[in-house]
Structure 1
């Protein structure tokens, strides 16, 4: 069920019997010369709306701009600073709790959001307002990613390229995939030369890759993207069913030991 398509009486019926919502979050940032800036939020929204259709759980509108200052040197990248992002997501989630939702899965497709979503989840759990957990699609299916790609890359690589070929092929510049592969950093961090003596000496994506991408995009295909999408969707369905089945008290912080 997609929240924005419903009337308020319809949503009243939902919160009378259900207490779970999914919130998709991504970014609007560079993904190399071949993928649109919408890559992350397209993936997040597609997964969230698919599981909402399959399970009947509530899906909110997507948070399209995330914590992306590390991509700022590339044209068009948008970002919000981390404190404002955390406060916004917390406020949005408290809005859901006001209407009766007390379990939220953040369907996330941008690595820069991860730690901040975890912090928001901790705040709300400590306040006993809600149980909120961050979920990252590729981290739910590591075996399949490893099976499909020799060099998947953490950003703009073949796994994200495959997902976009499956979900939004119209906006993939397929004629630039070769340039993306040859102009980026194929193996990270081995080829980046920015890990020294145990320290990550980089702060921005451009410190590692001239064209903004990591991995070998030539491994991508729409068929692989469909496999990734279906496998990740299955994992998300199982997570939502688990969250829904837990007694609320079991999801709250444990008491101090005596």
Structure 2
């Protein structure tokens, strides 16, 4: 059920019965010479839509620009400051709670958003407004992702390439897969990313000349379809689990025992 396609009476009927919403988030940033800048938000939107439809929950419009300044040297990348991103997502979520939603899953497909979505969820839970959690597709099926590729990569690699081959094949520059591999870093451990236990990089351009990692030629639409189905199943399971939890059980505990003034012995 997509919020933007419904009328307000229909949404009133939804929140009279349900309290779960799905919010897709991604980025608009470089994904090498073979994938579109839309890669992350396309994946998030497709997974959120499929899972919401299967489970019967509400899906909001997407957040398509995220925390991506570390890709800024590559043409076309867009980003917002972390604080602005957190405040925007928090405000959007509080808007949902005004209409009767008190559980939100952030369907996220961009690593740069993770810590900020976690912070937003922490804020909302702390004041008991809502329970909002971040979900990232590849982290829900790590074994399948690992087993599918000999040389995976955290950005613009075969896992994301396969997903876009499945979701939007017309946007993949198939003739650029070999050059993406040869112009990037196939094995991340070969990149000069650490010295004596310290991370020495801040930007994607510090690690990869063309901004991507892994062997993109390993990707196929068939693998993408398998990844998509497995991740969707995990997301549906999460939504159904969340829907079944008493709201109070999702909220923070008031204190751990023993509490000061409880009458219990505090001898030292």
TM-score, normalised by the number of residues in structure 2 = 0.95
- Cα distance between partner residues in 2 of 1:43 and 1:24: 9
Q: CA deviation at 1:52?
A: 1.2
Is 1:98 aligned with 2:98? Answer: yes
- Cα distance between partner residues in 2 of 1:120 and 1:245: 22
Q: In structure 2, what is the equivalent of residue 207 of structure 1?
A: 206
Q: In structure 2, what is the equivalent of residue 29 of structure 1?
A: 29
- Cα distance between partner residues in 2 of 1:154 and 1:229: 17
Residues 215-252 of structure 1: CA deviation (Å, up to 9, x unaligned)? 11011000000000000000000000111000000000
Q: In structure 2, what is the equivalent of residue 252 of structure 1?
A: 251
- Cα distance between partner residues in 1 of 2:54 and 2:152: 28
Q: In structure 1, what is the equivalent of residue 74 of structure 2?
A: 74
Q: In structure 2, what is the equivalent of residue 6 of structure 1?
A: 6
Q: In structure 2, what is the equivalent of residue 184 of structure 1?
A: 184
Residues 154-188 of structure 1: CA deviation (Å, up to 9, x unaligned)? 00000000000000010100000000001101111
Q: In structure 1, what is the equivalent of residue 87 of structure 2?
A: 87
- Cα distance between partner residues in 1 of 2:93 and 2:213: 33
Q: In structure 2, what is the equivalent of residue 193 of structure 1?
A: 192
- Stretches of structure 2 that go unaligned for 5 or more consecutive residues are 260-268
- Cα distance between partner residues in 1 of 2:105 and 2:196: 37
TM-score, normalised by the number of residues in structure 1 = 0.99
191-200 or 31-40, larger mean C-alpha shift: 191-200
- Cα distance between partner residues in 2 of 1:205 and 1:121: 27
- Cα distance between partner residues in 2 of 1:184 and 1:114: 24
Q: In structure 2, what is the equivalent of residue 242 of structure 1?
A: 241
- Cα distance between partner residues in 1 of 2:193 and 2:14: 50
Is 1:127 aligned with 2:124? Answer: no
Task: Find the residue that maps to 1:22 and give its secondary structure.
Answer: strand
Instruction: Count residues with an aligned counterpart.
Output: 257
Is 1:56 aligned with 2:28? Answer: no
Q: In structure 2, what is the equivalent of residue 43 of structure 1?
A: 43
- Cα distance between partner residues in 2 of 1:102 and 1:150: 41
Q: Give the alignment's Cα RMSD to 1 decimal.
A: 0.5
Q: In structure 2, what is the equivalent of residue 218 of structure 1?
A: 217
Residues 33-65 of structure 1: CA deviation (Å, up to 9, x unaligned)? 000000000000000000111011000000000
- Cα distance between partner residues in 2 of 1:83 and 1:96: 20
Q: CA deviation at 1:193?
A: 1.2
Q: In structure 1, what is the equivalent of residue 173 of structure 2?
A: 173
Q: CA deviation at 1:146?
A: 1.0
- Stretches of structure 1 that go unaligned for 5 or more consecutive residues are none
Q: In structure 1, what is the equivalent of residue 162 of structure 2?
A: 162
